[in-house]
Structure 1
Amino acid sequence: MDQEKIQLYITRFFLFLLLAAVIGNFIAQNWLNLFTSILAIILIYLPAYLTDKNYLHIPNGLQFFIIVFIFGSMYLGEQREFYYRFWWWDSMLHLIYGMGMGFIGFVMVYVLNKNENIDVGLSPIFVAVFAFSFAVTIGVFWEIFEFWMDNIFGLNMQKSGLIDTMFDLMEDCVGAFITSIIGYFYIKNKKPSRFQRYLSEVLEKNRKFLKK
């Protein structure tokens, strides 16, 4: 069985659990978890939808990465209370998040750097710093979102308040830093790696962003 089929079966299993959660939360009238379950299903379908409609090509490996992250945070973390059962769960997800957002930031500025309409050459260190800054900025906005959700709707997204927020941001920084360093050395050396493979596929299948 190849890797893509395994990923497909795992994704279907995730969706089955989320659909069961939708039904269970509706019966229990747990509206917050019901909303979270529906939102998770939509977000899991979104990468494949964007790729199928040729809006944006996302490699299968990255799609699966996104799916696992969504399931781990919105279902296991929130509804199955993994955030409370395992002290490291939130830290792990924020580290992964930082790496993922760092990759997105890297791709954005790398595409701009290669765009024929933009007459500017960006140094590897600038690209790396931008990727890091992009990921951390998104992390800051997420923490602001958590703050307002807790204060307006009485949720507990920030867990232990300021301490949780600061650790989340530090973990985002670590993840973003890892991706930025990998991206920096990719530009400098162009050595074959998984990072290079994903980046090449993203650029190759999204050439419309590089055209005049």
Structure 2
Amino acid sequence: MNRLRGQSGLTYVIWSVLTVELLLSVATGRWPVAFVSLATLALTMTPIFLAPRLNIRLPRSIVAAIVVFIFATLFLGEVMDFYIRLWWWDIALHGMSALGLGLAGFLLVFILFEGDRYAAPAWAIGLLAFCFAVTIGVIWEVFEFAMDQTFGLNMQKSGLVDTMGDLIVDIIGAGVAGLTGALYLRGKALGSVSALVEEFVDLNRRFFRRFKG
């Protein structure tokens, strides 16, 4: 349990909410809510236990972002019916996921170049990050289609319109992430984004032997 220590206050608040909801749901026999609460709690803790196995150290800010996203997707979306109550909820989450995946793609490419800002043109690395995020978005839409066709679910909601809307949002989010990565390589001040990248680099120096802050 030592790995769960040292996280952000927001992360602990969400874990507390999920734990309380889990206990209340079990006590009142609301088993579907209990299952979703337990699954959400487990998934939000997964990156913390998975990262050491991959020999990666995650900054608290990245862990907090992952926890918030999973909480918003599963618990708020499914248990609290935010997908129904707020028409823009699904759009916002797709944008967040695309932005996050784009930054993850940027860090992955940056690792491949060992942190060398000049190993490739900034626009090329930004484009690779963009492609990475969009590819994941497309794979997810294929997964939704497969689940609907195989199990009779309704993950695609309105079908083609929902799928295309999601992909458009994915492209916009991935584009913002790719542009952000390219600007960072050009030395543009990006506030919290630059701080997040440099914090990740500092925690994982062995992957960035050519990095010069």
Mark yes or no: TM-score above 0.5: yes
* Equivalent-residue separation in structure 2 for 1:123 and 1:24 (angstroms): 58
Q: Percent identity?
A: 36
For 1:12, the equivalent position in structure 2 comes to: 15
- The CA deviation string for residues 43-88 of structure 1, in whole angstroms up to 9 with x for no partner, is 2001222456683211111111111110111111122221111100
For 1:157, the equivalent position in structure 2 comes to: 155
Runs of 4+ in 1 over 6 A off after TM superposition: none
* Equivalent-residue separation in structure 2 for 1:21 and 1:104 (angstroms): 36
Judged with a 3 Å threshold, the aligned counterparts in structure 2 of structure 1 residues 54 and 121 are, in CA distance, closer, same or farther, namely closer
CA contact (8 A) 1:14 1:71 kept: no
* Equivalent-residue separation in structure 2 for 1:152 and 1:37 (angstroms): 26
Asked if 1:45 is matched to 2:48, the reply is no
With the length of structure 1 as denominator, give the TM-score of the two structures.
Answer: 0.84
* Equivalent-residue separation in structure 2 for 1:24 and 1:164 (angstroms): 37
List aligned pairs for 1:1-212, cutoff 5 A: 6-16=9-19, 19-20=22-23, 23=26, 27-28=29-30, 30=32, 36-51=36-51, 55-114=55-114, 121-191=119-189, 193-210=191-208
SS at 1:189's partner residue? coil
Q: Give RMSD over aligned pairs.
A: 2.8
Which runs of no fewer than 5 residues in structure 2 stay unpaired? 1-6
CA contact (8 A) 2:114 2:207 kept: no
With the length of structure 2 as denominator, give the TM-score of the two structures.
Answer: 0.83
SS at 2:169's partner residue? helix
CA contact (8 A) 1:50 1:57 kept: no
